[in-house]
Structure 1
Amino acid sequence: MKACIALCLFALVAAALARPQSHYTDRYDNMDLNEILNNRRLLIPYIQCVLGEGKCTPDGRELKSHIREALENDCAKCTDNQREGSRRVIAHLIKHEAGYWDKLKAKYDPNGKYSRRHEQELAAAQA
C-alpha cells in the first residue's frame, strides 16, 4: 500500500515537472521600455544581442531564447505585459530603426510570414 502511494506521488511530481510552462517568466515585465526605446545607448545592445552580434545581459539572453517561438506562436506564452511590450518595441523598430528591423526580419522571419502581420497591424493603427 505504501509503495502504491509512493509511486502515485512520484508520478504526480514527474507529471508536474514535465508539464511545459504556460507563460514565459514575468521577471522582466516591469522594465521601463520607454527608457530603453528612447535611448539608443540602451536599445542597440539588446538588438545586437538578439542578432548574435554582441554580448547579452541576462534579460537579453532570456529574450533571445524565446523570440523565435514567440513569433511562430503569436506570443502564446507571453504575459499581457510582454504582448503589449513586444508590440511597442516592434512599432518603434519599424518607425525608428528600420535597418535593424530588416536585420531582425532576415534572421528570425526570412520568409516574412510573421513580420508582415505586425507591419500591417502598425499601418492599420496609424490610419
Structure 2
Amino acid sequence: MSDLFYIRLILVLAVVSIVVGDFYSSRYDNFDITPLLENDRILLGYTKCFLDQGPCTPDAKDFKKVIPEALQTVCGKCTQKQGNLIKVVVRTLRERHPESWKLLLDRYDSEKKFREEFDKFLLQDD
C-alpha cells in the first residue's frame, strides 16, 4: 500500500477521534433518573454533593466533574439523550427546590455569563 493510503487512513482516524471526543461518555446515556425524580432525598443528595455540602456517590462525582463545562457550553458535548436527561432533572430541581437550583447556579456561574443561554436550552423540546 502506498504512503498516500496511510496518510489518508491516519487523517480519517484523526477526524473520527475528534468527532467522538466531542461528546461526553455514553456511559450515562441510559442513567435511570427515576429515583431522582421520585425521591427528594436522593435529588437533594446529588445537589449537596455538587455543592460540596455532602458525600458523593461515584455517579455523582462523575456528573460533578462535567457540570461547569456543560453549563458553559450549554451542554455542547452532551449526546441528545444526555441533554434530555439533564433537562428533565434540572426542570424538576428548579420546580421543587428553586433555592437549591439558585445555589448551584451561584456556584457554577457566579458571574451570570451562561444562565440565559442555559435557560433557553432548558426550554427546548427535543
Same fold, judged at TM 0.5 (above): yes
Matches of 1:116 and 1:122, distance apart in 2: 10
Paired-residue identity, %: 33
5+ unaligned residues in a row in structure 2: which ranges? 1-5
TM-score where L is the length of structure 2: 0.74
Query: Which residue in the other structure is 1:114 paired with?
Result: 114
Which range moved further: 50-59 or 113-122?
113-122
TM-score where L is the length of structure 1: 0.74
Query: Residues 76, 106 of structure 1: CA spacing in aligned structure 2 closer, same or farther, 3 A cutoff?
Result: same
Q: Which has the higher contact order (CA 8 A, sep 6+)?
A: 2
Matches of 2:31 and 2:90, distance apart in 1: 16
- What RMSD, in angstroms, separates the aligned Cα atoms of the two structures? 2.9
Matches of 1:75 and 1:46, distance apart in 2: 19
Aligned partner of residue 31 in structure 2, secondary structure: coil
* In the alignment, structure 1 residue 30 sits paired with structure 2 residue 49: no
* TM superposition shift of 1:111: 2.5
Aligned 8 A contact 1:90 1:118 in 2 = no
Code of the aligned partner of 1:53:
Q
Q: Higher Cα Rg: structure 1 or 2? A: 1
